[in-house]
Structures are given as structure tokens and as C-alpha cells.
């Protein structure tokens, strides 16, 4: 009995593979390595003592996926595979719709063929849009995503919901991630953005290591305690453990559930910069810039549903996230490149 991780060589997938193996699951990773590195597999082996079974395939190619289902007894799927660069999705929307939807549709057709009925999907807090009050609760209306990436997440949530309504033995857990940062405490796996990072923490760590000259803070006139944007940063190891609880839930229930994975705490950009400086005894050069289009004042989770349904809560602190992000960056200044 194995759990299939599509896009399992990526940042969140690799951490989830580690936590699943630690919890006693057999893990099969499929990944086309379009935004990840095969070296991650050896690192997972170093951490857990087990090399995950790996197929370098594209999830949208159903025949290749069938081979994986033929050769393994897949009892549940965690679907990470997908493009995730927000600015790119605005410039090349068709690339995002084609890839993110094709991978999901092929996967669901193949799961149906092999009678695999449990899926956990990597959704995003971006589905709450900019009209809801914080904290975001799972029963709030979704929609109003400001970019094509966010809309693919919404569309896939709808597709999975339709499938769950149509087949009563189907189970889907839609995990709405807040802002995953940090890295495995070993420093062996972590986030390795391709090119200039879009997200805050990789930009902070690349500035600390000297790859970037300074961090630009995107606006100090937000309606928040210090004027900078507030987000719910969650340690990727906590997030990964949330997936272990979610796949257990999905294999034991039917129907569809959207569940937030966050800490419930909001931290501003200044809070993150100061926490990073304090935790690691490092100064981050900062420049104040303009607002980034599409950014909202505040985004943090209501965490009660995850606690109630999954018995899961985030445990690690912002200090842990800052220390582990820096530990990973220091040990791997160029990510997985030599």
C-alpha cells in the first residue's frame, strides 16, 4: 500500500515524503523535474533511511501514469504537481491552465481506472480572494483570485468537488496552504526557487547569503499594525505533517472537505525581517518600495477545522522557521546546484 505524490520532488512534496516515510508509509514520487532536482531523492534517503520509489514522468501523460498504478498498489494520492509562479501565470496564463488542469484531469481519469478514490490536493489561501475578513474560514465564499495561478486552484477545487458529488466512494481533501517557509532541520532539503524569488522568505535568505543586495518591502501603507502586509507563515515540516493527517483522513472518509493549513497567527513583513535578524544574528539590508499589485492587507487562517477533522495543529514557531530557512540556505547557497 503506497501513497503517490505527484510533484513529490518539490519543496512541499519532498518534506511530505519525509514525514510520510517517518510515519511508516510507502511513498511513490512522480515528478517531471521541471522545477525540482533529482538530488532531493538521495537527501530524503539520508534523512529517513529509505529511498522513495521515483518515476520521472509528466502527470498529464495518462499512459505513463498507468504504468505507475500498474506497478504499485496506490491507495491514496497527494497532488502537488503544478506551476506556481504568480507573475508568470499573469504573463502566460495558457501555460498555467494547460498544465495545472491537464495534470489534474489525467490523474483523476487514471485514479478512476484503477479504483483509487482518495486524493489530497495542494490548494492555496489565495482562493479566499480579497473580500473576506480575517481569519479566513473554510465556509467563507471563495473566488476573486487576482491571477491565473490562483484561478487554476479554484477550478481544481471545483473539479474535485464535482467528482466527489458524482461518485459517492470518492474522497477529496482540499488543503488551503497559507505561507509555507522554513526547511527540514537537517538542512538537507528546502526551497530552491528558480531565478529571482517571488516570495518573501527565499528573498530574505538570498539577501542574507549575499546573492541579493537588499530586500524590497512592498509597501508600508497597508492597514496593518506596522503598515506592511500580514501573512500566516507556517513551517513546511508542520505543513508536511498536516498532509500525513489529511491522507489518513481521505482514505477513511468519503466526500470533499476544504481545510486550512496555517498557524492562525499573522506576521507582518517587518515582523519576519526582525525575527530572522534576531534568530540568526544577521542584518538584512532593506529598501522600502511600492505595493506589489494583487497583494492584500492581511491573510491568516482559522485553524479549528484542521484541529477538529485532522487532529492536527502547527507547532513550530516563527523563530524555528527563520532558523531552519537560514540553515538550509547557508548549507546550500545555490539550492540543489553544485
Asked if 121 and 172 count as a contact pair (C-beta separation under 8 A), the reply is: yes
Candidates 44-52, 127-135, 194-202, 239-247; binding stretch for ligand UD1 (CB under 6 A): 194-202
What is the C-alpha to C-alpha distance for residues 32 and 6, in angstroms, rounded to an integer? 9
- The residue within the footprint of ligand UD1, chosen from 127, 173, 200, 318 (CB under 6 A), is 200
DSSP H stretches of helix in the chain: 11-22, 39-48, 62-71, 86-91, 93-113, 148-166, 200-209, 236-252, 269-280, 304-305, 318-331
* Bridge partners for 4 per DSSP: 28, 77
* Nearer residue to ligand UD1 within complex by CB, 212 or 248: 212
Kindly state the smallest distance separating residue 216's Cβ from ligand UD1, in Å: 5
Per the residue annotation, which of 149, 177, 222, 233 is the catalytic one? 149
| Integer Cα distance of 259 and 141 in angstroms | 14
Is 179 among the residues that bind ligand UD1 (CB under 6 A)? yes
149 is catalytic: yes
Minimum Å distance from CB 231 to ligand UD1?
A: 5
Q: Give the β-pairing of 2-6 and 53-55.
A: unpaired
Alpha-carbon span 172 to 157, nearest angstrom: 9
Whether residue 101 contacts residue 155, with contact meaning beta carbons closer than 8 Å, is answered with: yes
User: Could you say which of 190, 229, 264, 266 contacts ligand UD1 (CB under 6 A)?
Assistant: 229
Contacts (CB under 6 A) with ligand UD1, residues 245-304: 269, 292, 294-295, 299
* Sign of the torsion angle spanned by Cα atoms 154, 200, 91, 10: negative
Give bridge partners of residue 314 from the DSSP assignment.
none
- Cβ closest to ligand UD1, residue 28 vs residue 259: 259
Quickly list DSSP for 232-257. Answer: -EEEHHHHHHHHHHHHHHHHH--EEE
Looking at the Cβ atoms of 2 and 89, the one nearer to ligand UD1 is: 89
The footprint of ligand UD1 on residues 58-77 (CB under 6 A) is none
Question: Which residue stretch of 2-10, 15-23, 61-69, 195-203 sits at the interface with ligand UD1 (rule: CB under 6 A)?
Answer: 195-203
Which residue, 41 or 215, is less far from ligand UD1 as judged by CB?
215
Number of residues lying near ligand UD1 (CB under 6 A): 20
Pick from 5, 164, 172, 217 the residue near ligand UD1 by CB under 6 A: 217
Prior bond of 267 cis (ω within 30°): no
**Of the residues 60, 99, 126, 267, which one makes contact with ligand UD1 according to CB under 6 A:** 126
Of these, 13, 82, 150, 182, which contacts ligand UD1 (CB under 6 A)?
Answer: 150
Residues with active-site annotation:
149
The residues of the shown chain that bind ligand UD1, judged by CB under 6 A, are 86, 124, 126, 150, 179, 198-200, 203, 215-218, 229, 231, 269, 292, 294-295, 299
Amino acid at each position: 500500500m503506497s501513497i503517490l505524490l505527484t510533484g513529490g520532488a518539490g519543496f512541499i512534496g519532498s518534506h511530505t515524503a519525509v514525514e510520510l516515510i517517518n510515519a511508516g508509509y510507502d511513498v511513490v514520487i512522480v515528478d517531471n523535474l521541471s522545477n525540482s532536482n533529482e538530488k532531493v531523492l538521495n537527501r530524503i534517503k539520508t534523512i529517513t533511511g529509505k529511498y522513495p520509489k521515483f518515476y520521472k514522468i509528466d502527470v498529464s501523460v495518462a499512459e505513463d501514469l498507468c504504468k505507475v498504478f500498474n506497478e504499485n498498489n496506490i491507495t491514496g494520492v497527494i497532488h502537488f504537481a503544478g506551476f506556481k509562479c504568480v507573475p508568470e501565470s499573469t504573463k502566460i496564463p495558457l501555460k498555467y491552465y494547460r498544465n495545472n488542469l491537464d495534470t489534474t484531469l489525467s490523474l483523476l481519469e487514471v485514479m478512476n481506472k484503477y479504483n483509487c478514490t482518495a486524493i489530497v490536493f495542494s490548494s492555496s489561501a489565495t482562493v479566499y480572494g480579497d473580500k473576506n475578513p480575517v481569519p479566513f474560514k473554510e465556509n467563507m465564499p471563495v473566488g476573486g483570485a487576482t491571477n491565473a495561478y490562483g484561478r487554476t486552484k479554484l477550478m481544481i477545487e471545483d473539479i474535485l468537488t464535482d467528482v466527489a458529488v458524482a461518485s459517492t466512494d470518492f474522497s477529496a481533501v482540499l488543503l488551503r496552504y497559507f505561507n509555507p517557509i522554513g526547511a527540514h532541520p537537517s538542512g538537507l532539503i528546502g526551497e530552491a526557487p528558480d531565478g529571482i524569488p517571488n516570495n518573501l522568505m527565499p528573498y530574505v535568505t538570498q539577501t542574507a547569503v549575499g546573492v541579493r543586495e537588499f530586500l524590497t518591502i512592498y509597501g508600508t501603507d497597508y492597514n496593518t499594525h506596522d503598515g506592511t502586509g500580514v501573512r500566516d507563515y507556517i513551517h513546511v515540516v508542520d505543513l508536511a505533517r498536516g498532509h500525513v493527517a489529511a491522507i489518513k483522513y481521505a482514505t477513511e472518509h468519503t466526500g470533499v472537505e476544504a481545510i486550512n493549513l496555517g498557524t492562525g497567527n499573522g506576521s507582518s513583513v517587518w515582523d519576519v525581517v526582525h525575527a530572522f535578524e534576531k534568530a540568526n544574528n544577521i542584518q538584512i539590508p532593506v529598501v522600502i518600495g511600492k505595493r506589489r499589485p494583487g497583494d492584500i492587507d492581511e491573510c491568516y487562517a482559522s485553524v479549528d477545522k484542521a484541529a477538529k477533522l485532522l487532529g492536527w495543529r502547527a507547532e513550530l514557531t516563527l523563530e524555528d522557521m527563520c532558523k531552519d530557512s537560514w540553515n538550509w540556505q547557508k548549507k546550500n547557497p545555490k539550492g540543489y546546484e553544485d
